Amino acid sequence: MTMRSLSRCGYIVAGAVAIVAAAAQSLVAQGVRREVASAARVPLEQSRAAPAARSFLHSLVGTWRFDIWFAGNLDGAPDASGTRAVRALFDDLRVEWTEQLDHTAVQSQGMIGFDERSGRFYSTSVSNAGSGAEFMTGVADAAEPRITFSPMSLLLDAAAGQQSAALSMLDQNHFTWAPLDHAWRAVFTRETAQAVAPAPDAKPQDAAPATDAKPAQDAKSTQ
Cβ pair 108, 127 in contact under 8 A: yes
Judge whether residue 218 has pLDDT over 50.
no
Average pLDDT value for the chain? 75
Judge whether residue 8 has pLDDT over 90.
no
Domain residue ranges in the chain = 1-41, 47-190
Ramachandran assignment for 99, one of left (phi > 0), alpha (psi -120 to 50 degrees), beta (any other): beta
pLDDT band at 48; cut points 50, 70, 90: low
Architecture per CATH, domain 47-190, reads as Beta Barrel (2.40)
pLDDT band at 25; cut points 50, 70, 90: low
pLDDT band at 58; cut points 50, 70, 90: very high
pTM over cut 0.75: no
Model confidence pLDDT, tens digit, residues 206-217: 444 444 444 444
Rounded Cα–Cα distance for residues 68 and 187 (Å): 7
Model confidence pLDDT, tens digit, residues 150-163: 998 655 444 456 78
Q: What integer is the mean pLDDT of 158-187?
A: 89
Rounded Cα–Cα distance for residues 112 and 166 (Å): 13
